[in-house]
Structure 1
Amino acid sequence: MKMLALGAVVATTSAQAGMLEERLDEGETIRLGFAAAPPWAYAGDDGSPQGFVNGIAVDVLERMGHSNIEPVLTDWASLIPSLKAGRVDMVTGGMYIVQARCENMDFSDPIGAFGDTFVVPAGNPKNLETYQDLIDQDLTMVAPSGYNTLADAEDAGVPESSVTEVPGTTQALAALRTGRTDAVAINVLEAKHAADMDESFDISDPDLFVGREKQVVGIGFRSEDASFREAFNDALADYMGSDEMMATVTPDNYLEAFLPGELTTEAACRAN
């Protein structure tokens, strides 16, 4: 992904009033809000917005003629509150489009479709593949705050005492590394990234994992910015699956198999 000579700012930036179009008319930046969740989104060494969701957002914004972009790095659970409070203008953290989120912000058209799995100790010694395996063996799991896997585990019947919520992926993987939990329940891309980066980790078989069906991911906007979101979607339509897109996202392990095809934001909001 192209590098932007920008420094990340913390999410305590004071809220600025007005819709995104008004900020642009005043020469302000477009603030991308994301958490450290590689390969979806993360800050580069220079503070620039990296990861394939940021890459897609930056490419599409540039197609729209916008290059004055400011990265805002925060924790996952603060992303939607930061958008609603006006501290960021777009959420590029790589969020599944689910009903609870649709009630709090508007999503772009889908930018990909993905599933979940477990990160487990190398070799998967306890043969964990599903939430039911946790129940049957009285084992524990951890997941970052705000991740759908927390609710999915509850829906599957995993006891509340067996599930730990932590601020982010770093803390979740640290718990697994130090033996304080048996599994980390996250999306398959983050799981694969973790296993690639640390030989003490493996991932369970995504094809055997029983949770949600493949979920679509979108970029979040305030409802007040509907016209900007629609213009973004227009530019996104020509971009999805293009050579430009694949050149941007492939370094962060996005494959053509992840393209959303005919899946829609509207259907995802209704279904989850």
Structure 2
Amino acid sequence: MAIFFFQPGGDDTLGRLRKTGVVRIGYAVEAPFAILSDRGEVTGEAPEIARHVVERLGISHIEWHQVELGGLIPELRAGRIDVIASGLFITPERSGKVLFSRPTMTVRQAMLVPAGNPRGLGSYREMAGRSDIAAAVLAGSIEDMLMTRLGMADVRLLRVPDALTGRRAVETGLADALLLSEPSLRWMLSRGEPGRLAVAVDDEQESGLPAFAFRLDEPEFRDAWDDALGAYLGSAAHRAMLGSLGLSWSPPAAKEADG
């Protein structure tokens, strides 16, 4: 039986994956981008698109690896996974560490707040400037980066491992808001006790661009993925899949899609 050893920096990643028949995909649970069902099945926007792309690329099996959000890029760079499929937003900081695919949609930033928004929160920038506000963010998330960039003091940033912990922080008063993308917060709100929480959208922030991520030294693999991805995005099958998750197709503008 042939044994294949992985070495980061190989010049034919797609060929290797086709030969072994397995691609290792990392994800962090954040619905609706990546979801772990009650039966232990991985689904969500990014995994379902990945399944389609992997099939088109001629790879027979996906090995799923659940990782906390902040650990995804280190796992990828260390060679323990081959692709990140988790709705990871494109940022300049991350682009220095990984190669991104074309974005799969555009996403607005938002806040999960108590019903009625008693603290009157309207934007991330406003929150960063108020000394009486505490915000929950997923550690290593785009929201974590944004609030740090806006100058919010670490003492007022509650970094949590997952969205459910962030939600509980708002419900218990430990945080005034949970900062996440609008689709994630709408999904969360639809599955909780009605009337206790609300979603406030930040119209000041630029829309986020979720995408797949690859190692810096594997551009040919990323380009092959992009070709298959481009043929699927916006198709009837893609739109139907998004609809099943309560999402709609929001294509990135041409300039955004070009990176």
Q: TM-score, normalised by structure 2?
A: 0.88
Superposed displacement of residue 156, structure 1: 2.8
**Secondary structure in structure 1 of the residue aligned to 2:87:** strand
Aligned equivalent of 1:17: 7
1:202 corresponds to which of 180, 193, 198: 198
Residues 18, 59 of structure 2: 8 Å contact kept:
no
Q: What residue is the counterpart of 2:229 in the other structure?
A: 236
Q: Give the corresponding residue for 2:251.
A: 259
In the alignment, residue 156 of structure 1 is paired with which amino acid? L
2:105 aligns with 112
- RMSD after superposition: 2.0
Q: 1:28 to 1:62 in 2, by over 3 A?
A: closer
Q: Is the 8 A contact 2:33 2:86 kept in 1?
A: yes
The DSSP-based 3-state class of the residue aligned with 1:31 is strand
CA contact (8 A) 1:39 1:193 kept: yes
> Displacement, 1:87?
1.1
1:1-272 to structure 2, matched below 5 A, reads 16-18=6-8, 19=10, 20-21=13-14, 23-134=16-127, 135-136=129-130, 138-198=132-192, 199=194, 200-204=196-200, 206=201, 208-210=202-204, 212-256=205-249, 258-264=250-256, 266-267=258-259
Find runs of 4+ consecutive structure 1 residues off by over 6 angstroms: none
Show structure 1 runs of 5+ residues with no match: 1-14, 268-272
Identity, in percent, stands at: 26
Q: Deviations over 1:20-51 (max 9, x none)?
A: 33542542411110011110002233433200
Deviation at 1:266, TM superposition (A): 4.9
Q: 1:25 to 1:132 in 2, by over 3 A?
A: closer
Q: Is there any run of 5+ residues in structure 2 with no aligned partner, and where?
A: none
Who is 1:5 aligned against?
A: none
Shift of 1:117: 0.8
Deviation (angstroms), 1:265: 5.1
Tell me how far apart the structure 1 counterparts of residues 125 and 221 of structure 2 sit (CA, whole Å). 43
Q: AA paired with 1:179?
A: G
Q: Deviations over 1:178-212 (max 9, x none)?
A: 211110111111111121112222111x2x543x3
Alignment check: 8 A CA contact 2:138 2:163 kept: yes
Deviates more, 1:49-58 or 1:154-163: 154-163
Secondary structure in 1 matching 2:32: coil
1:62 maps to a residue whose letter is: E
Query: Does the 8 Å CA contact 1:110/1:263 hold for their aligned counterparts?
Result: no
2: CA distance between counterparts of 1:162 and 1:105? Answer: 30
Q: Which amino acid is the alignment partner of residue 259 of structure 1? A: P
